[in-house]
């Protein structure tokens, strides 16, 4: 299975979103960062905007919720047709119940871990999720540097998934470039979010291919 490359539209031009979505049509999924200015100190957009992105995007949506009270808000993103809905472990009060609800609505369910959040509490629950998002920066902003100290957690998750024969996608998000993607692929990631490195490239489609080929060489 080739590496999945999910460009983050946090690095797109928000007033030219449809144009910028056109630049990433060769990607696997479009990564949509929802921030509420409570869980993280930044604010992006909510269901109305994500619904319009869903309407005009040629590729499915990978929604990353950086919000408090995901039990209240996450199902709305499944409802509007998002392919995957990922909420933060640190914000959820009933992660398994929420994942089951998202799956019952037809979405893939993801759980995200901030750099300082260990995976240990979730290792016995991996069957309940379709993907685990290992944050490789502190959530809140694009354009930050990749944190290699998160790689032992990724290796731990990959070993647990392999040992149990799970088809669990392991996603990394933050500071992914053609250099850092090598480290993340070697540690077991198969799904890569890249904002700045795709949208700041002269040719985003070429950058998507380069990232995919580089990850495939090292997985
Ligand atoms: O979730 C995020 C930030 O919280 C973004 O998805 C992430 O930062 C992508 O941006 P970049 O590739 O520029 O680091
Ligand atoms: Fe993200």
The ranges assigned to domains in the chain are 4-218
Query: Given a cut of 80, is residue 38 above it in pLDDT?
Result: yes
What are 79-136's pLDDT values in tens digits? 999 999 999 999 999 999 999 999 999 999 999 999 999 999 999 999 999 999 999 9
Residue appearing with tokens 């998507």: 208
Residue 201: φ, ψ to 5°: -75, 150
**What residues are paired with 66 via a beta bridge?**
35
Q: Report the CATH superfamily, name and number, of domain 4-218.
A: Aldolase class I (3.20.20.70)
Ligand 2 center–CA 113 separation, angstroms:
11
Q: Are 129 and 99 in contact (CB under 8 A)?
A: yes
The H or E element spanning position 192 is strand 191-194
Q: Is 175 in the pocket of ligand 1 (CB under 6 A)?
A: yes
Ligand whose nearest atom lies closest to the CA of 194: 1
Distance, in Å, from the CA atom of 55 to the CA atom of 51, rounded to the nearest integer, reads 6
Does this model's pTM top 0.95?
Answer: yes
**Catalytic residue (choose from 20, 33, 36, 62):** 33
Query: Given a cut of 80, is residue 18 above it in pLDDT?
Result: yes
Closest residue by Cα to residue 180 from 170, 192, 162, 169 = 192
Distance, in Å, from the CA atom of 63 to the CA atom of 75, rounded to the nearest integer, reads 11
């Amino acid at each position: 299975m080739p590496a999945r490359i999910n460009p983050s539209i946090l690095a797109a031009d928000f007033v030219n979103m449809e144009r910028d979505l056109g630049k990433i049509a060769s990607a696997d999924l479009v990564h949509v960062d929802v921030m509420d200015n409570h869980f993280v100190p930044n604010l992006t957009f909510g269901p109305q905007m994500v619904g319009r992105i869903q309407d005009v995007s040629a590729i499915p949506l990978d929604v990353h919720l950086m919000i408090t009270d995901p039990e209240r808000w996450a199902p709305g993103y499944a409802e509007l047709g998002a392919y995957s809905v990922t909420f933060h472990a640190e914000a959820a009060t009933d992660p398994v119940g929420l994942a089951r609800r998202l799956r019952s609505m037809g979405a893939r369910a993801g759980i995200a871990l901030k750099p300082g959040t260990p995976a240990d509490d979730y290792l016995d629950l991996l069957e309940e999720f379709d993907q685990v998002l290992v944050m490789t920066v502190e959530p809140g902003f694009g354009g930050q540097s990749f944190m290699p100290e998160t790689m032992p957690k990724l290796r731990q998750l990959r070993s647990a998934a392999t040992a149990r024969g799970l088809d669990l996608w392991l996603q990394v998000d933050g500071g992914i470039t053609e250099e850092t993607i090598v480290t993340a692929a070697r540690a077991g990631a198969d799904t890569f979010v890249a904002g700045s490195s795709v949208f700041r490239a002269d040719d985003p489609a070429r950058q998507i291919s380069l990232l995919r080929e580089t990850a495939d060489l090292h997985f």
